[in-house]
């Protein structure tokens, strides 16, 4: 009987799925390193058992998708190493470990694009995510009624990932503070700035179409504030604003007075 010999060991052994992916010395070392850091302990006998342990391992929600990807990343690098050996090349165990770290780091960066300074190495990455606390800064914001006879449109746009899945919203209220019209729109994949700008635009368009003016537009967009975006009205209503009123309403970043 002809038995194929493995390409992964210095003293070739019988090649099998279990040998390449579970029991060869290099494979053993790689699994132990990554499982040790993750606190997973499983006897290295069967591949599907290892995969199951990674899949159901207890970890913080941020690590879950990474844990579930680990078996595919490790087996892929081991398979590449085996093929390099078969075709006359050689890949050191340290190189395999390096490539796995690199892929996991890239996966974390793509998955959590808004989180800075994700560590390069797997054990550090685990510590980092286990201890990760989003920085929350709270500012008290009070909403003020528009002037008598005026309307106010509050707008907001957000992007998860920037660029990423985005949406906009605006809400128009009258001078009693009652809601006249609210809208929320899914924008698909775009950026924060586009979402903020479209929120302002749609709010504005709605109010123009429905004669809801004079109007104050309020946005929380820093970009819109920085660029000092103003849409100036030129009508009688607009010119009725006193100097102090103009000062007050230009603060939120955008002022719109009577488009007619
Ligand atoms: Zn081998």
Q: Which residue has the tokens 């102090």?
A: 244
The rounded Å distance from CA 66 to ligand 1 centre is 27
- Distance (angstroms) between ligand 1 centre and the Cα of 98 equals 20
pLDDT classification of 230: cutoffs 50, 70, 90: very low
User: Would you state the pLDDT for residue 232?
Assistant: 41
The residue among 125, 89, 131 whose CA lies nearest residue 106 is 125
**Residue 22, pLDDT score:** 94
Q: How far is CA 63 from the centre of its chain?
A: 14
Q: What is the pLDDT of residue 237?
A: 40
pLDDT of residue 235: 37
215: β partners: 151, 256
pLDDT, tens digit, 9 for 90 and up, residues 55-107: 999 999 999 999 999 999 999 999 999 999 999 999 999 999 999 999 999 99
pLDDT for position 7: 87
What's the pLDDT tens digit per position in 127-180? 999 998 878 888 777 888 999 999 999 999 999 988 999 999 999 999 999 999
* 74 Cα–ligand 1 center, Å: 16
Q: How far is the CA of 204 from the centre of ligand 1 (A)?
A: 68
Q: How far is the CA of 100 from the centre of ligand 1 (A)?
A: 19
Asked if residue 100 lies in contact with residue 77, where contact means CB atoms within 8 angstroms, the answer is: yes
**Distance of alpha carbon 216 from alpha carbon 197, whole angstroms:** 15
User: Measured in angstroms, how far is the CA atom of residue 5 from the centroid of ligand 1?
Assistant: 8
Q: How confident is the model at residue 220 (pLDDT cuts 50, 70, 90)?
A: confident
Q: Distance from the CA of 16 to the center of ligand 1, in angstroms?
A: 9
Rounded distance from Cα 51 to ligand 1 centre (Å): 20
> What are the C-alpha distances in Å from 237 to residues 38, 104, 147, 253, 258?
66, 60, 12, 20, 6
With the CA atoms of 240, 243, 244 and 248 taken in that order, what torsion angle do they form, in degrees rounded to the nearest 10?
A: 80
Going from the Cα of 40 to the center of ligand 1, the distance in angstroms, rounded, reads 24
Exposure string for 19-55, b = 16+ CB within 10 A, e = fewer = bbbbebebbeebbebbbeebebeeebeebeebbebbe
């Amino acid at each position: 009987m002809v038995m194929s010999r493995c390409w992964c060991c210095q003293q070739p052994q019988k090649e099998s799925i279990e040998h390449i992916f579970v029991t060869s010395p290099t494979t053993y070392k790689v699994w132990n390193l990554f499982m040790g850091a993750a606190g997973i302990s499983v006897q290295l006998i069967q591949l599907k058992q290892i995969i199951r342990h990674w899949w159901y391992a207890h970890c913080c929600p941020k690590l879950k998708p990474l844990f579930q990807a680990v078996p595919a990343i490790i087996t892929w690098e081991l398979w590449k190493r085996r093929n390099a050996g078969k075709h006359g090349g050689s890949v050191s165990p340290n190189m395999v470990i390096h490539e796995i770290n690199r892929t996991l780091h890239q996966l974390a960066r793509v998955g959590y694009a808004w989180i800075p300074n994700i560590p390069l190495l797997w054990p550090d990455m685990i510590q980092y995510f286990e201890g990760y606390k989003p920085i929350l800064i709270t500012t008290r914001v009070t909403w003020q009624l528009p002037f008598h006879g005026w309307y106010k449109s509050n707008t907001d746009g957000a992007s998860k990932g920037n660029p990423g899945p985005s949406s906009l919203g605006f809400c128009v209220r009258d001078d009693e503070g009652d809601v006249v019209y609210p809208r929320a729109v899914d924008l698909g994949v775009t950026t924060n700035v586009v979402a903020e700008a479209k929120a302002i635009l749609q709010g504005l368009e709605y109010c123009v179409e429905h004669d809801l003016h004079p109007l104050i537009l309020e946005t929380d967009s820093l970009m819109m504030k920085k660029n000092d975006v103003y849409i100036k009205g030129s009508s009688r209503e607009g010119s009725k604003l006193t100097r102090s009123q103009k000062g007050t309403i230009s603060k939120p970043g955008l002022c719109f007075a009577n488009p007619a």
